[in-house]
Amino acid sequence: MVPGQLVFISGGVRSGKSAYAEMLVRGAPSERIVYIASGIARDPEMAERIARHRSDRAQDGWWTIEQPQQLSEALPLIRQNDAVLWDCVTTWLANELYEGFEQGSLCADTPGCMEQRWQELTNTIDSIREKAVYFAVVSNEVLDEPLVDHTYQEWLGKIHQWLASRADHAIEMENGLAIRRK
């Protein structure tokens, strides 16, 4: 079976990535449009933002999967010929990398933990492509920022490079403009 088209969209915060990805996914020849959301309501502002996004997507015909970690758990909910949007890698990575923060045992500090999550992520993305006709993946470009968390930036760079290498199209958003990189 031919895998679905993979489009990787990155850019700065509030650069128009999500809106652009939504437009692309809505235009895909699919039976259903699916939104995989990675956000977690850790404060009132984020809770309000998530609630607003849920409402907006429901009114716009999206079928939403809330999956802040373990992207593989969304796989059984993806149907053949769906068009899928995953928003976003950077949020998912923070959720996975810093899992266990409250207990003082971060995945980032546990040998092999992120390597296992990485393998699961790559397998899941390939599996979604086998089902979906179109798969858009959104991520923030934070690698130009001053080095704050070496582990986070190292993993994000690895994920971005892998996605760009596998993608049919890689797009960078800047000030609402889509710049095709691949």
39 marked among binding-site residues: yes
From 53, 150, 160, 169, active-site residue? 53
11 is in an annotated binding site: yes
7 annotated as belonging to a binding site for a ligand: no
Is 108 annotated for ligand binding? no
> Does the annotation list 17 as a binding residue?
yes
Q: Is 160 a catalytic residue?
A: no
* 66 marked as part of a ligand binding site: yes
Residue 30 labelled as part of a binding site: no
In this structure, the number of other CB atoms found within 10 A of the CB of residue 29 comes to 8
Residue corresponding to tokens 């849920």: 54
How many Å apart are CA 51 and CA 45, to the nearest integer?
A: 10
13 labelled ligand-binding: yes
Task: Establish whether 43 is an annotated binding residue.
Answer: no
Residues in the annotated binding site for GTP: 11-18, 37-39, 54-57, 66, 87
Residues in the annotated binding site: 11-18, 37-39, 54-57, 66, 87
Residues marked active site are found at: 53
